[in-house]
Amino acid sequence: MNSTEEITMRNIEEIYFRLFPRLCVFAEKMLRDSDFAKSVVQEVFLSVCEKKDRLHINTSIEAYLIKAVYNRCLFYIRESTIHQKHLSKIYYKQVTDHIPDEIFDEETIFKLKLLDKAINSLPEKCRKIFLLNKKEGLSYAKIAVLMEISVKTVDNHISKALKKIKEYIGNI
């Protein structure tokens, strides 16, 4: 199907059966969840069906669908990250509100404060990437998508952060 043809339900059905498996694999690589990837691809096709009369595609339908799936995955990754961030804050608050001060000895408190200072001394972008990985538990790939940088750049920032933290802390 080229971009000038009218989009019909028959065209969408043909494209669905032809591209659905490939689009699911693509989405699964981003989301790391097979079932969720399938539902995202189905949402995209449903959206195309609903908008077929108003839809003007300037590229091939395949390119349009790949971009639509990519954008939908990106939306869910960002939404999930924000949700996880808020849950982490709530959980941290609940846990720390119930920990008596006596659990940590002075040496441990000193080490934790030193680590906190070391992390806060990192350049802003480096610190953000480090905390997304170590505190929020995000993979390098998710951080790369979220911050719109390459996975290699994420790796470089994490390595830089670890090196600077080790230098800051020394041998305690």
Per-residue model confidence as pLDDT tens digits over 36-77: 899 999 999 998 888 888 877 888 888 899 999 999 988 888
Residues 6 or more apart whose Cβ sits within 8 Å of residue 7:
1, 48, 52, 53, 55, 57, 61
Residue whose tokens read 């839809």: 55
Please give the model's pTM, rounded to 2 decimal places. 0.48
* pLDDT at residue number 103: 59
70-75-149-153 Cα dihedral, nearest 10 degrees: -100
Q: How far apart are CA 166 and CA 118, in angstroms?
A: 8
Token pair listed for 66 = 């790949």
What's the CATH code, domain 1-99? 1.10.1740.10
* pLDDT at residue number 8: 79
> Which H or E element spans position 38?
helix 34-51
CATH T-level fold of 100-169? Arc Repressor Mutant, subunit A (1.10.10)
Residue ranges covered by each domain of the chain: 1-99, 100-169
Q: How far apart are CA 94 and CA 77, in angstroms?
A: 25
Q: Which residues, given as ranges, of the chain have pLDDT below 50?
A: 2-4, 96
* pLDDT at residue number 107: 76
